[in-house]
Structure 1
């Protein structure tokens, strides 16, 4: 396991929980100690909650050897990378791993936003490089996105799939595209929420309350504060660079939050303020809301989100089941196609048509698949058929 930040330490724990001998590697002593402390806190918490016995915890920790020398990868069957999200850093690392590892070793990157193809192309054997996007916290979250590139050998994907199955993970497979399945949908939804807030469409409280009422575990602005605005901004930049879709161009208020150092919970300020006792009454960074439009929530957020889901299906990038699995397991959000069934394709189309009429953005154009569902004699039956066939 190369890189022992929050994700790397969590992935190391996942492997050790399942009987693997793990070498955890970091570049500095301080980073190594931080990785150890993350692992200790996680496993101690598992003991306290009864999910691990003390003996199992000790065995788990005993299966992980910590060090700072990449020479440890020489005999590895699998190498997973979770270092800083910088393409040049990852390319250099994978070129080095390619030279140091056995020819039959599986090389995997946990990147959430960078091009896996570009990372693989830095090696002499790109056919053995694959993406395994774990979700945080890795020991708890069941979902992993398994990503192949045009260079990945079919047997590499088969091997990675079996590995993740053995680790008890639920996988969705996809090709190498900015954001993959989950972040493409999630970050687009979050960016729109930030845009609506920044344009005074509704207050932060109204936006968040509407989406919680719609069944989400937390509102989008609260979630962005939790994730960190620097993280969201980096993913949006990557998605926009690849697609040039203005819907994923970072909204100005998000860029301003990052420039101001208001990164969310980790800095004490974001869309909300945070103190020792939780959320404070600090004012938000946006303009005063035009309350007359708050009544259009939550459809103002749900229609574009569902439209994006149907575009993804229509482009054959993911199936309804993969999308439902990804968003429900990875984000704890209601299954999108359940939401579509509840609202009705015709109602969602009408809302999306209104949004497109106002924005004139090509990305807001209703998905062809949404139009076809709405035009069916019985849209509900057509939606059931779509979910069963794909």
Structure 2
């Protein structure tokens, strides 16, 4: 029989802890909310009332319901107030020594049947559990920020967590209206293990000068439909928090270089550039805690050039959906277009201002510089990658080679703007921006599945419900094609030789077996129809 949680405790009333209190109180569960001092308790109370007042002002919560919610919360200083609760969830800072001392105290104070839960996002639940005399009753219950809004909860069981404890917490999450995924105790769990490898890689690209912060963020928002770009998201999370999570995952997760913090991240933390909470991180904000970005000396400014070369008539060389889409886009923008099928006589292009060679193959296939050097005018060659589908997608990646002139880049930017698209400028490297960040993240998800850590459904749920992604990694792999993903990853790995970027053997094997995704009817989710 599932146990009844009649009263729960929450320790630590920062943004996350106050959000967890709100989740329980919204769903009719009385809460004891605990802090270490009266001042901290006042701040925690303000966090909770601020959140509920905003919900009322936005029409998400009736005033009477807010008052009832707040009436279910008892605020207290000191852990002794938790002596009679059925469950305690801690949301204190991500330091193992702090959590271990806290759990040793909770073990002493709470009644013997109480479940002790940690909201850690990356630390070892096992190492926390062994600081108590009841490790079988310790479990990870990882909420996502903001807890009242985000649907996902990762339930983390250790090798000694009792099965009935896991079942009881799963039932409680359902009572709270949350979707849970139950997993073993591994560094980063699902969501953070996948998210922070991607974020760390984005910092590395910025550090290397591959693209500006604004272009990196625009590329992932517009090219992948993500709610935030990676650098803006790091500012929201806090660069110090991100650094600690990456360090923990690197040490505990087999020293995967995908999780080794990029030096720039450590330098920014040392300099106190922690993101929104300090008013400055990758971006500068109106004030500490504000979300409003203001210009600062780090803001990239466009190079000063003379007149921009006008682009009138455009030639499109190629056959297939991409070429057809580009002809339509250019024509709709008022440009005369000369369309030349692949392999046809190109003499009709003699008087055009710009030639676009359109291909339906992956952008990782060949560097732009190879095409540029096949001409006698490499300074006039630039890559224009129209994200699929070209007519609907708002993003174009503008690829400059080491020989592309500033005048050519300016002309490409002007054309892209004329087409009503957003252009992001990047260097000539496999995967450009979007694919270079997206496909290693998808590859990490395949490796996680391959290791038997979680299921296709739970990994997709984790990224959609915990990170706000529009699709899960396996849904996306089936949509774009497993063979396309493999080709991109091979190109990126061949160029960078980074072990963490090597295609997962499971992906290689599935493609070899003809499991190519949705179009083939066989993939991670797409399965052939049953034979009757």
TM band (smaller chain): over 0.9
1:138-157 mapped onto 2 (5 Å cutoff): 138-157=147-166
Q: CA deviation at 1:101?
A: 1.4
After superposing the two structures, state which structure 1 stretch, 77-86 or 229-238, moved more.
77-86
Say yes or no: does 1:359 pair with 2:359: no
How many angstroms does 1:283 deviate by? Answer: 4.1
Q: Is the 8 A contact 1:268 1:274 kept in 2?
A: yes
Q: Pick from 177, 181, 186: which aligns with 1:168?
A: 177
- Say which SS state the counterpart of residue 20 (structure 2) adopts: helix
CA contact (8 A) 1:94 1:119 kept: yes
Q: RMSD of the TM alignment (CA)?
A: 2.0
- 1:230 pairs with 237, 240, 249, which one? 240
**Aligned with residue 294 of structure 2, among 244, 268, 280:** 280
Residues 300-331 of structure 1 deviation map (CA, whole Å, 9 limit, x = unaligned): 11110110010001001111211111111111
| Correspondence list, 1:182-201, <5 A | 182-201=191-210
What is the CA–CA distance in structure 2 between the aligned matches of 1:333 and 1:240, rounded to whole Å? 24
Q: CA deviation at 1:135?
A: 0.7
The answer for unaligned runs of 5 or more in structure 2 is: 1-9, 304-399, 402-425, 528-532
Counterpart among 201, 204, 228 of residue 213 in structure 2: 204
Provide the rounded CA distance (Å) in 2 between the counterparts of 1:195 and 1:328.
25
Counting only pairs closer than 5 Å after superposition, residues 10-49 of structure 1 correspond to structure 2 as 10-49=19-58
Structure 1 CA distance, aligned partners of 2:507 and 2:298?
35
Find the counterpart in structure 2 of residue 221 from structure 1. 231
| CA-to-aligned-CA distance 1:210-262 (integer Å, 9 cap, x gap) | 11122111211111111111111000000111121111100111111111111
Indicate the structure with greater helix content: 1
CA distance in 1, matches of 2:54, 2:460: 30
Q: Scaled by the length of structure 2, what TM-score is found?
A: 0.70
Find the counterpart in structure 2 of residue 125 from structure 1: 134
Whole-angstrom distance in 2 between the partners of 1:374 and 1:254? 36
Pair 1:386-2:521 in alignment: no
TM-score (norm 1): 0.95
* Structure 1, unaligned runs of 5 or more: none
Give the conservation status (yes or no) of the 8 Å contact 1:128–1:152: yes
Aligned pair 1:314/2:314, yes or no? no
Matching of residue 371 in structure 1 with residue 380 in structure 2: no
In the alignment, does 2:112 pair up with 1:103?
yes
**CA drift at 1:90:** 0.8
- Whether contact under 8 Å (1:272, 1:283) holds in the other structure is no
Q: Which has the higher contact order (CA 8 A, sep 6+)?
A: 1
Question: Which of 284, 298, 305 is matched with 2:441 structurally?
Answer: 305
List structure 1 segments (4+ residues) > 4 angstroms apart after TM superposition: 381-385
**Is the contact between residue 178 and residue 184 of structure 1 (CA under 8 Å) also seen in structure 2?**
yes
Q: Which has the larger radius of gyration?
A: 2
> The residue matched to 2:293 in structure 1 has which SS?
strand
Measured at CA, do residues 104 and 193 of structure 1 come closer, stay the same or move farther in structure 2, by a change above 3 Å?
A: same
Per the alignment, in what secondary structure is the counterpart of residue 217 of structure 1?
coil
Offset at residue 388 of structure 1 (A): 6.7
